[in-house]
Amino acid sequence: MFCPECGTLSFPDPKGNIACTNYKCGYNGPANIVIKGTDGKDVDLSKAKSSTESKSRVYDVIKDSDKRHGVLTNGTYMCPKCDCIEVFSYLEQTRSSDEPETRMLTCKDCGHGWREY
């Protein structure tokens, strides 16, 4: 809710009254429960409720940084281990910003990884 006097964000108590948090305004009284919506129509907020209840969420953390492959190139690089010419490559800034980036390479067939500076 917003204070009807100064527009400061205020939170209503269970009875619907607000105490403005702006020390210069100091408004105490009923909140304006009818406001203009985004479509220009009046919206009645008298039945609006807020809650501080936290909801639990199930999520999985996937660590795939060791499986970062990059772009598949064909014929540009050759694997030093199995002589395959299909190699994944990407650029990474491993040193300071005034140094050139490092090309990280991974073989498609055997998974062998190496770097080119």
- Of residues 77 and 47, more confidently modeled: 77
Residues 6+ apart with CB under 8 A from 31: 1, 4, 10, 12, 16, 17, 18, 45
pTM > 0.85: yes or no: no
Share of the chain above pLDDT 70, in %: 78
**pLDDT above 60 for 36:** yes
- Domain span holding position 24: 1-48
Is residue 55 a part of any domain in this protein? no
| Secondary structure letter of residue 77 according to DSSP | -
**pLDDT above 60 for 13:** yes
**pLDDT above 70 for 84:** yes
3-state secondary structure 40-58: CCEEECCCCCCCCCCCCCC
CATH number at residue 85: 2.20.25.10
Tally of domains within the chain: 2
Is residue 70 a part of any domain in this protein? yes
Is residue 112 a part of any domain in this protein? yes
Q: Name the phi and psi angles at 34, rounded to 5.
A: -120, 120
Do 42 and 71 belong to one domain?
no
